[in-house]
Amino acid sequence: MTAAATERRGPFAHFAQDFTASIVVFLVAMPLCMGIAIASGVPPEMGLVTGIVGGLVVGLLAGSPLQVSGPAAGLAVIVFEFVRDHGLSALGPVLVLVGVLQFVAGVLKLGGLFRSISPAVVHGMLAGIGALIVIGQFHTLFDASPLSSGLENLAAMPGRVLGLTPFDLRATEIALLLGMLTIGVMLGWEKVRPKSMTLVPGALLGVMAATIVAVVFGLEVARVTVPDSIAAAFTGPGEGFFGPLTQPAILVAAVAIAFIASAETLLSAAAVDKMHDGPRTDYNKELRAQGVGNLLCGGLGGLPMTGVIVRSSANVQAGAKTRLSTILHGVWILGFVALLPWLLREIPMAALGGVLVVTGWRLVSIAHVKHLLHTYGRLPVMIWLVTFVLVVATDLLTGVLVGLALSLIELLPYRRSLKLAVNEREEADVTHLQLEGTATFLSLTRLNAVLEGVPNDRRVKLDLAALKGMDHTTAQTLSDWLALRKRGGGSVEVSGGEQFGHVLAHA
């Protein structure tokens, strides 16, 4: 092996690309870390702590090298409700327990199970969370605090609008104008930005524009509050730290957060794998890394973390090649908080509210609902809709559990035979795969292991002739695998299974 080849495999083999990508991810992450903390009803520095841990620690240990971890909009609602019901002091010990649960799940190799969750449930959950963020952060645009539930926030929205006095601008009206300026710059930049500046994030420009206007004109609006020193942002465990864990309700919350955070992380990792041709995700290793990260966030005073698709996609699009970009983005957040806290304190709260309104709105993906309807029929759409409505009207855990229960309806037509045989045979440079029986989410973990175990340089012949049925979760997984193989230049020949043509057409 030559010295050049050895160098290419070292941690700094792609330093230039990773360095540039880390700057882009840092610029995307900063406003989101603070905004998600505010949406969670906690001080913004808690989001920054999680961003730092997600970069420096999880970035080093992750099973998905190009995935970026940090505070997630998908957990903002459940954290808000938890802090409201149990107090901020109970969040730390719960996150320590969440981290332990995730780490143990990774050690027990349970990562594949989370990928068996129905896409309709996951996207319905994210859509419900997005809607709650929008109607909650709507009030932040008015320099007001969100109310205690999604329905209360929704009911109070008309009053906020009717209370405006356009001919007598006060803090409320000024804050709304700054929030709308942030949203306008974010959306406008995406329409007009030149190709040479594709990687410049609209959220950063929106916050910058609102902050500059507020500073230049000396506007009296609520601003972000952060500690004077980085040491104050990290809070260690105090006396009686683990006391709250004796309460059954808090233990249930820990299991719920661990489940949702793990599902979102691993589904995000699967999405990141579709964006690049580098190393695939080791899901159990990723789960262990997330466990370590959440354990540290609990001990240091941060928010729960997950792998996050917005920052991860920015990382891939910016040309990152290794985990170094993720680690460096954590370094930049740490340096910014340590050296420039005064700059963060100039940011209007309404500007971060504007960022979260756009972020939340994008979680409500109507395009995904159309995809479910056109490809898989009405039942997955019903699962999505019920999950969405219950997340908004009741709470996150209820919506997810009911959605998972409804997923069982897809098993009814095949209730007499739910077994799937995956027959694998090697022949020269060809791998023959035959699926026999019924392919449902119950057998998806094993199917994934076989599919992803086929080397990329081998031809694959996939025989579906003996397959009696397939639920939409397995169909989506198979479609994604076929698309990934084809994009990577692999040869896949599918025979039989004409009844599944609508699935294969999307690969």
Of the pLDDT bands very low, low, confident and very high (cuts 50, 70, 90), residue 505 is low
Residue 487, pLDDT score: 78
Please say if the pLDDT value at position 472 is more than 80: yes
Residue 503, pLDDT score: 61
Least confident of 9-13, 122-126, 242-246: 9-13
pLDDT digits (tens, 9 = 90+) for 97-114: 999 999 999 999 999 888
Residue 436, pLDDT score: 94
Least confident of 95-99, 102-106, 235-239, 450-454: 235-239
CATH superfamily for 420-504 is: STAS domain (3.30.750.24)
Handedness of CA 467, 469, 473, 475 (dihedral sign): positive
Residue 177, pLDDT score: 96
Residue 1, pLDDT score: 37
How far apart CA 84 and CA 116 sit, in angstroms, is 32
- The token duo for 46 is 């808690």
In the chain, % helix, strand, coil (3-state, to 5) comes to 65, 10, 25
Please say if the pLDDT value at position 297 is more than 70: yes
41: alpha, beta or left? (left if phi > 0; alpha if psi -120 to 50): left
The three-state secondary structure class of 121 is: helix
- The token duo for 282 is 């080791």
The three-state secondary structure class of 271 is: helix
How far apart CA 314 and CA 193 sit, in angstroms, is 16
Residue 192, pLDDT score: 93
| CA nearest to 297, candidates 95, 8, 32 | 95
Residue 11, pLDDT score: 65
87: alpha, beta or left? (left if phi > 0; alpha if psi -120 to 50): left
Choice between 105 and 359, residue whose per-residue pLDDT is larger: 105
How far apart CA 26 and CA 295 sit, in angstroms, is 23
* DSSP bridge pairs for 305: 71
pLDDT digits (tens, 9 = 90+) for 25-66: 998 899 999 999 999 999 999 999 999 999 999 999 999 999
Residue 14, pLDDT score: 82
The three-state secondary structure class of 144 is: coil
CB 65, CB 272: distance < 8 Å: no
How far apart CA 37 and CA 117 sit, in angstroms, is 27
Of the pLDDT bands very low, low, confident and very high (cuts 50, 70, 90), residue 2 is very low
Q: Spell out the domain ranges in the chain.
A: 15-354, 365-414, 420-504
Choice between 3 and 267, residue whose per-residue pLDDT is larger: 267
Please say if the pLDDT value at position 164 is more than 60: yes
Neighbours of 109 (CB within 10 A): 13
For residues 289-314, average pLDDT = 94
| Residue linked to tokens 């993906």 | 365
pTM for the model: 0.83
Of the pLDDT bands very low, low, confident and very high (cuts 50, 70, 90), residue 5 is very low
High-pLDDT (> 70) share of the chain, %: 96
Q: What is the DSSP string of 9-49?
A: TSTTTTHHHHHHHHHHHHHHHHHHHHHHHHHTTS-HHHHHH
Residue 7, pLDDT score: 41
Give per-residue burial for 112-124: e unless 16+ CB within 10 Å, then b.
bbbbbbbbbbbbb
CB 137, CB 466: distance < 8 Å: no
Residue 4, pLDDT score: 39
Phi, psi for 422 (deg, rounded to 5): -115, 105
How far apart CA 97 and CA 94 sit, in angstroms, is 5
CB 120, CB 384: distance < 8 Å: yes
pLDDT digits (tens, 9 = 90+) for 372-405: 999 889 999 999 999 999 999 988 788 989 999 9
Residue 157, pLDDT score: 93
End-to-end CA gap in the chain: 38
Q: What is the DSSP string of 348-379?
A: BHHHHHHHHHHHHHHHS-HHHHHHHHHHH-HH
Mean pLDDT, all residues of the chain: 90
pLDDT digits (tens, 9 = 90+) for 308-352: 988 998 899 888 999 999 999 999 999 999 999 999 999 999 999
- 70, exposed or middle or buried, with CB in 10 Å at 0-12, 13-18, 19+? buried
The residue type found at 506 is H
| CA nearest to 150, candidates 76, 55, 202 | 76
Least confident of 153-167, 441-455, 464-478, 482-496: 482-496
For residues 67-75, average pLDDT = 91
For residues 364-369, average pLDDT = 89
Residue 131, pLDDT score: 92
Handedness of CA 249, 284, 125, 356 (dihedral sign): positive
Q: Strand 430-439 and strand 467-470: pairing?
A: parallel
Residue 488, pLDDT score: 75
Residue 420, pLDDT score: 95
Residue 279, pLDDT score: 84
Of the pLDDT bands very low, low, confident and very high (cuts 50, 70, 90), residue 502 is low
Angle, helices 396-407/248-273, rounded to nearest 10 degrees: 60
For residues 241-249, average pLDDT = 94
pLDDT digits (tens, 9 = 90+) for 409-438: 999 988 888 999 999 999 888 999 999 999
Handedness of CA 156, 347, 209, 360 (dihedral sign): negative
Residues 6+ apart with CB under 8 A from 126: 74, 264, 363, 365
pLDDT digits (tens, 9 = 90+) for 398-416: 898 999 999 999 999 888 8
Q: Say what the alpha-carbon torsion angle 288, 293, 296, 300 is, to the nearest 10 degrees.
A: -170
